[in-house]
Structure 1
Amino acid sequence: MSDLRAPHLIPAQGERLVREAYRRDFRQREAVLRNRDSWKLERRQHFEEQAVPSYDAFRRGDWDESMRLLEERTDSLLAMTREDELRNSFFHRVRVVETPLTPYMRWELRSLRMRAECGERIRVVGAEAVAAFERGGPLPEVVVLGGRTLYRVLYTEGGVPDGAFRYTTPHLVRGWEDYIRGLYETGEDVRSYVDRELTSLSSSTVGSKTE
């Protein structure tokens, strides 16, 4: 793992996809995957989730409602896991975490814990695990889909989704897949992390307005 490096992603070498084109392209490519895993690296410590009722409740400061709405997703998450099993194609997520946690991360980590409870493969690494590769700035948000397609997912300064760059050059895709897999192998299961680090929540940390 220590010898692996994240390849540099040059915008000109990829294809820029606006938000809807990225979502459509991702869905189409994911739907035909069989017997190949996918990998995601999440680095930013704040996103503005779009059309997520639990996040909307969190932003209003209604923590109980936010958690209730997360629970309502259980059936759909379990169905996604069953589909992954049928296709023998599993999604692995590495979540980089900085401390102290941002308000957003306190919500997202609980959301990720629920995903893990329903079968998604999610591990957490501290920011120190990637620090050596961030001398030029934070690592990008990256998804490697089925070993064939890499997306550098883009966001506005405020964390709103803004499409992606798509790369299909084999050495870039393979390099990032190896790097994310290496982080995953050294990471901690999100369930044990949340159970240890987020055992309580004070009212002062509820809602992204505290940022």
Structure 2
Amino acid sequence: MLDRIADIPGEALNNPAYLADAARTRADLRGALWKLERSQVFRELKDPSWEAFMAGDWRGALDLLENDRVAVRAEAKRHAVQGLEIRRVRVAEMPIGPYLQWELHALKLLADEGDGLSVLTADQVSALETSAPLPEVNVVGDRVLYHIQYEDDGTPCGARRITDPAVIGAAASEIEALYRRGEPLLDFFEREVAPLSAPSV
């Protein structure tokens, strides 16, 4: 199913509309929210840590991430009370590029505070990418699938909203299977990311 998401009809939402719709859809969700991330470079606009990273201030970027820990922990507690479980699969091309090195530090913070994160290398998913890379997808329970859209430079520009129950169920099952195949992010981070020196942008 994941390799056919791009061909499945969906409602086009610009980025503000997508973010608002996703917030409403997950507000009372109990159970799993599945995320699949494949692209290796994004533009994290209005993120102070990403801006510091792009400016070459690696130490400052990491300090800004750490400053978010209290807020991340509070959000994790809200999710636990709600009964919402965030489960994310991150595909990593090796060797790790500068952006992904920064993002994996950000994802480690989420994993530290309770989000489920799993990593697969690009080689491990290559058999699923016969015609195109895997899509960027958020599956909100059994309610909606968002096929996330980006500009060519990695700037978020919205999503396609898909509500076909068969598509949602199949995509969620496939992402869950990838999640179970992957390595826990914290283990991957300690082996592959922690030893790296500061990246050059």
Residue 192 of structure 1 deviates from its aligned partner by 1.1
Give deviations 1:158-204, integer Å, cap 9, x for gaps: 0000100000101100011000000101111111111111233334x
User: Which residue of structure 1 aligns with residue 37 of structure 2?
Assistant: 42
Superposition RMSD in Å: 1.3
Residue 118 of structure 1 deviates from its aligned partner by 1.1
1:6 partnered with 2:2: yes
Alignment partners' CA distance in 2, 1:107 and 1:125: 17
Q: Is the 8 Å Cα contact of residues 33 and 85 (structure 2) preserved in structure 1?
A: yes
1:126 partnered with 2:148: no
User: Which residue of structure 1 aligns with residue 195 of structure 2?
Assistant: 200
TM-score (norm 2): 0.96
Alignment partners' CA distance in 2, 1:164 and 1:178: 20
Change (3 A) 1:121 1:36: same
User: Which residue of structure 1 aligns with residue 19 of structure 2?
Assistant: 23
Equivalent pairs counted in the alignment come to 201
User: Which residue of structure 2 aligns with residue 88 of structure 1?
Assistant: 83
Alignment partners' CA distance in 2, 1:196 and 1:112: 15
Residue 82 of structure 1 deviates from its aligned partner by 0.6
Query: Which one of 7, 16, 32 corresponds to residue 28 of structure 2?
Result: 32
User: Which residue of structure 2 aligns with residue 135 of structure 1?
Assistant: 130
Q: Is the 8 Å Cα contact of residues 81 and 120 (structure 1) preserved in structure 2?
A: yes
Letter in 1 for 2:56: G
Change (3 A) 1:10 1:60: closer
Alignment partners' CA distance in 2, 1:19 and 1:6: 22
TM-score (norm 1): 0.91
Unpaired segments ≥5 residues, structure 2: none
In percent, how many aligned pairs have the same letter?
36
Letter in 1 for 2:21: D
Q: Is the 8 Å Cα contact of residues 38 and 147 (structure 1) preserved in structure 2?
A: no
Residue 10 of structure 1 deviates from its aligned partner by 4.5
